[in-house]
Amino acid sequence: MRKPVIICTDDELTILDSLKIELKKALGDDYLIETAIGGEETLELVSDLIKDEYEIILVICDYIMPDIKGDELLKQIHSICPRTLKIMLTGQADIAGVSNAIKHAKLYRYIAKPWQKEDLKLTVQEAVRSYYQDKQLAEQNITLQRLNEELETLVEQRTAALRQSEEKFAKAFRSTPHAITITRLHDGHHIELNDSFCRMTGYTNDEIIGRTAVDLCLWVNLEERDRLFQLLQKNGAVRDYEFNFRTKSGAIRTALLSAEIIELDGETCVLSVSQDISDRKQAEVELKQAKEQADRANRAKSQFMANMSHELRTPLNAILGFTQLLGRDSSLTPEQREQIEIVTHSGEHLLGLINNVLQMSKIEVGQVTFARNTFDLYYVLNSLEEMFQLPAKKKGLQLIFESDRNLPQYVKTDERKLRQVLINLLGNAIKFTAEGGVTLRVSGTSRDRQQTIYFEVEDTGSGIASDEMEDLFKPFVQTETGRKSLEGTGLGLAISRQFVQLMGGDITVNSTVGKGSLFKFDIAVSLADATQMQVVSTHRRVIGLEPGQADYRILVVDDAKESRLLLVKLLVSVGFQVREAENGQLALEQWQAFEPHLIWMDMRMPVMDGYEATKRIKAHLKGQATVIIALTASAFDEEQALVLSTGCNDFVAKPFREQVIFEKMLHYLGVRYIYEEPALSQLVFTPAPQADLSPDALAVMPPHWVNQLYQAASEIDNEQIFELLSQIPTAQTRLSDAIAHWVNNFRCDRIIDLIEEFRKF
């Protein structure tokens, strides 16, 4: 038996794949889910399915598509399959388009994008139920029409054949599961009914025959009865009339009725077919309540995450920011620098854990966005190989990266999410592998400008028990091995699966305890050219302002004293004129008096928040010339659109990096800076030294410096290494150049080998 078909239409392949996954979760395997890109492909698919006699029960269609808009497409489908239900998805609500779909295509429901998973699930389930209920009612109407035709035949035939036809009708009349009655039109008395009507009302045949529905108190609302008979007398028939009725026991139920006026034995009668739909109505109420409850929960969770993000990131902004300020102090001793680095690394680790928790929460409320960009896939894979080469070597593991020679170099997808998935899988593989090795295999298949990239991460580690596989991708759940390691939050794999699905693929795992695991996933990408690559800028530390410039006035607005103090100290340290305000009201006063060139505006503050303060400043002609850059600790990327809509020129998330602050001011004010020299951190792929260093070249540096260099190389902390190189005497350029060359060519292992040889002397 062929499965019923649900068709999903969109012009974005990733949305279609995501929609297909959600429908599978909502409906299981009882339905065939077909996808089509655009309207023309959809119409061809509908034609083929009808030709092959498939039953199309539902079409879910995007509104904005390049070839045929959603309302027009649904109109054409309705002309072909009028009984098929239609749902329209769109992120750009168009009242005219929705009205057109309702009028000409009998649109069942409209859902805004991005959809809420629970809303989509409930809507589709209800649509499927509604389709089969409508189908059942249609069958009832067909039955009613057939019965009516038989009745007309009985009236016309006054011969011996009349009795035989009456017996056939009586058999069908009695055996149908739907409640059927025949009443006289002029007085409403029941003259015929079947057992199903008795079961529905609770009365016996003898109690009903010869009496009216009013006599039996079946009508809860007599106005509904009067309206029904007015429609019958006007149109001769009524379809799908919903009303409440009272059973013999007094219970109030809901029925759906179709009726038609007929002539029977010279009398004008009403033939009625009805169905008790109380359970369906109750299900609709429960679904509506569940949807409202889910919406409330999502809104509450989003608000909670916004608050938590602000509360967690604000103090972290101060911790990481002040360590950056302290690191600028040239009078620090090596021991103090080491302690600052410990604080910085601990803060970065804590930020990573917080980001994972917030990322998982954003996924659960449907707030994760797909940020497509063009990048060099070869470079990403090479950088990951260099990143994990040292950790693998320290554990005595073999790290192997294998790629298809036909793998495209420049692709377009979400680079950040792909990198995070690979880091999660490779990091786990190395962490839980004691001997042997870890292998990453990458291959691809292409079709036109679309490409599917396949990734496999295989290890020879401890493996995963079969009873733990079911919970492997659930958030905050760790395997037994993971719990013993006392590391992580149990979110890495859960986030990875969500990211992979967002990129148009899925992730699977095969594992044998004691032998290792194999994780596989695929993503959909678009091919790109090298000319589409974005140029990555390099950074140098700002230490002052070039002379001969305007005296730039900067206003810092933040209710958190530590955040305000951090930014003020940073800007004053390089020569800006800076004032501060702790809320939006004071910011307005300072703006009037100080006339700043640029305002760093926190968005969440008491008295008056940054949104309102920005609107009031930008409402003035003078305020149009003032650059306002928003500072926010929100966990949601969507906040960027909100702050920009209030009039802010740009957006910086907390905790921020000092180079981001200076780059924004360079962009908007044209500030000219004095940079720290020598700018060793900007050396990229420098020529190799003439000869390798000998271990005794390190003898010119103190032991604690050598220890810090070893620690930084072990952690592949390039920034810390270049900071240490700035402490090498100028006479020892050969030493600094050689180490800088190794770092820029991803050979931190050479630094470690050199130091270990030096320590043997």
- pLDDT tens profile 576-602: 999 999 999 999 999 999 999 999 999
Write out the DSSP string of 579-594: EEESSHHHHHHHHHHH
Q: Which residues contact 353 (CB under 8 A, 6 or more apart)?
A: 489
Q: Which residues contact 188 (CB under 8 A, 6 or more apart)?
A: 212, 213, 214
User: Which amino acid is located at 424 in the chain?
Assistant: N
Give the 3-state secondary structure of residue 196.
helix
395 torsion bin: left (phi>0), alpha (psi -120 to 50), beta (else): alpha
Give me the pLDDT at residue 578, please.
Answer: 94
Burial class (CB in 10 A: 0-12, 13-18, 19+), 674: middle
288, 218, 278, 208: which is closest to 242 by C-alpha? 278
Give me the pLDDT at residue 683, please.
Answer: 33
Q: Work out the angle between the directed axes of helices 117-156 and 160-175 (0-180°, nearest 10).
A: 160
Separation of alpha carbons 48 and 57, rounded Å: 15
Residue 420 · residue 380 · CB < 8 Å: no
Residue 31 · residue 22 · CB < 8 Å: no
Give me the pLDDT at residue 66, please.
Answer: 87
Give me the pLDDT at residue 517, please.
Answer: 92
How far is residue 414 from each of residues 402, 473, 519, measured CA to CA in Å? Answer: 22, 21, 20
Give me the pLDDT at residue 686, please.
Answer: 33
Residue 742 · residue 751 · CB < 8 Å: yes
How far is residue 88 from each of residues 58, 59, 73, 378, measured CA to CA in Å? Answer: 11, 8, 10, 40
C-beta neighbour count of 551 within 10 angstroms:
9
114, 264, 121, 127: which is closest to 182 by C-alpha? 264
Give me the pLDDT at residue 304, please.
Answer: 62
Give me the pLDDT at residue 483, please.
Answer: 47
Residue 147 · residue 172 · CB < 8 Å: yes
Residue 128 · residue 57 · CB < 8 Å: yes
Separation of alpha carbons 342 and 329, rounded Å: 16
Separation of alpha carbons 507 and 509, rounded Å: 7
Mean pLDDT taken over the chain: 81
Pairing relation of β-strands 598-602 and 553-557? Answer: parallel
Distance of alpha carbon 5 from its chain centroid, rounded? 26
Sheet holding 252-264, edge to edge: 190-193, 179-184, 267-276, 252-264, 237-246
413, 506, 519, 402: which is closest to 464 by C-alpha? 519
Q: Which residues contact 216 (CB under 8 A, 6 or more apart)?
A: 201, 203, 207, 208, 248
Separation of alpha carbons 426 and 484, rounded Å: 19
Sign of CA dihedral 223, 228, 229, 233: positive
Give me the pLDDT at residue 489, please.
Answer: 45
In the chain, which residues have pLDDT < 50? Answer: 365, 483-489, 535-538, 635, 678-691
Give the 3-state secondary structure of residue 696.
helix
511, 408, 499, 526: which is closest to 462 by C-alpha? 511
